[in-house]
Structure 1
Amino acid sequence: MAWLSLLLALGALWVAFTASSPGILFLALLVALVLFAVFVLKLASDRIGNRARSEQLMLDPEELRRLREQAEARKLAAAAQQNDAIR
């Protein structure tokens, strides 16, 4: 869609360059400006959307707490194992 608006903006510029009436010239330049702005905003939106993280990959606070507890238990078990190995 973004590239289509760019092509339409170029077409509107071509109409503006070949226009013989000032009204058509102004209208074509206005249309070209709007279509170019749509192109830029759509392109920026696509780039931002591609870099955004998926909401499905985000953890809720309860899941995060559970994972922290598991990591702490593993750390304590490893420390206890190391102390047993030293004795």
Structure 2
Amino acid sequence: MIHLELLFFAQIREVTGVRTTGAVLPDGSRLIDLIEHLTAVYGKNFGEKIESIDGLRILINGREYYLLGGMEALLAENDTVIFLPPIAGG
């Protein structure tokens, strides 16, 4: 089993109701497995938000997920996964 630290921001945090939490997944889990797990925990609205937010950044240990294999990126013990929607300001 692998233990992950998760951080949620903006619209994703609104869906989860928390800024940070942990997850435990089987060895060999991929990012898509984590998203499926989180959708089961937080409801289908979580998965819909992930799919619908243009410019959503998902960072694994500070690196963009698409540089690590996209949704097939392998997760490892003590990884930190950050869900960061674009934030507009002015």
| TM-score between the two structures when normalised by the length of structure 2 | 0.21
Q: Which has the higher strand share?
A: 2
Q: Which has the higher contact order (CA 8 A, sep 6+)?
A: 2
| TM-score between the two structures when normalised by the length of structure 1 | 0.22
Larger gyration radius, structure 1 or structure 2: 1
Q: Which has the higher helix share?
A: 1
